[in-house]
Chains A and B, each alone.
Chain A
Amino acid sequence: KAGVTQTPRYLIKTRGQQVTLSCSPISGHRSVSWYQQTPGQGLQFLFEYFSETQRNKGNFPGRFSGRQFSNSRSEMNVSTLELGDSALYLCASSLALGQLDGYTFGSGTRLTVV
């Protein structure tokens, strides 16, 4: 079965712009989580969506937002980009809330802010 698909794979944006990243979970998976990965901070939780509702949110500013559609696909948006937003953004899906069965991650979107 198809894995978690993230688009685009690479993105270069200018400071102050906004960006939208997309994530299509594994068929049947209803929970989608987003993580930011940087060399200095490692993987940090952004938010989790389940049944089109944000269920959990990490400690990121309001410039980071997301949504989930009825088909479980999710998007995350970052507005007013800063240089420090450069990172690998990973999406992970799971069957339901709670991670006892583990996540399946996508390959990520590499965002570079210049």
Chain B
Amino acid sequence: TQLLEQSPQFLSIQEGENLTVYCNSSSVFSSLQWYRQEPGEGPVLLVTVVTGGEVKKLKRLTFQFGDARKDSSLHITAAQPGDTGLYLCAGATGANNLFFGTGTRLTVIP
């Protein structure tokens, strides 16, 4: 079983602060995705990273895939209350299985 550990598990910050969420595994993934899930809804795909060392930016969000394709990070600049939610990383293997991380619950306080 591929295990994706996310840290921190919970994060509560003030509006305007920066933060980084980590997703780590001992397994190599062919690609890695980040999702955000709001209460009562399904996860929404934010980004897919495929190449080791790849960096993608989505407005205030920066995603990085580790060189060895075993880990990833999500950095949010100047967090806003609308960023509140459960952030999930998910790694894909060559067997077409997608393994989800343990999740980071982010609360941005106005």
Chain A interface residues (CB < 8 Å from chain B)? 4, 33, 35, 42-45, 48, 55-56, 59, 90, 92, 97-108
Contacts and interface: CB of A to CB of B under 8 A. Distances in A.
Contact of B100 (A42, A98, A104, A106): A42
Contact of A102 (B33, B101, B103): B33
Given A42-B103, A100-B31, A92 B96 contact: no
Interface stretch (B18-26, B39-47, B63-71, B73-81): B39-47
B42 A99 contact: no
Interface string B84-110: 000010101001111111110000000
A90 B95 CA distance: 21
A13 B41 CA distance: 21
B50 interface: yes
A103 B1 CA distance: 21
Nearest to A110: B40
Interface of B: 1, 30-31, 33, 35, 40-45, 48, 50, 88, 90, 92, 95-103
A52 B23 CA distance: 34
Contacts of A33: 98
B45 A98 contact: no
Contacts of B45: 102-104
B48 A56 contact: no
Given A100-B92, A101-B48, A43 B100 contact: yes
A99 B99 contact: no
Given A42-B103, A45-B97, A56-B97, A98 B92 contact: yes
B96 A107 contact: no
Given A99-B31, A100-B31, A100-B50, A45 B98 contact: yes
B33 A42 contact: no
Contacts of B40: 107-108
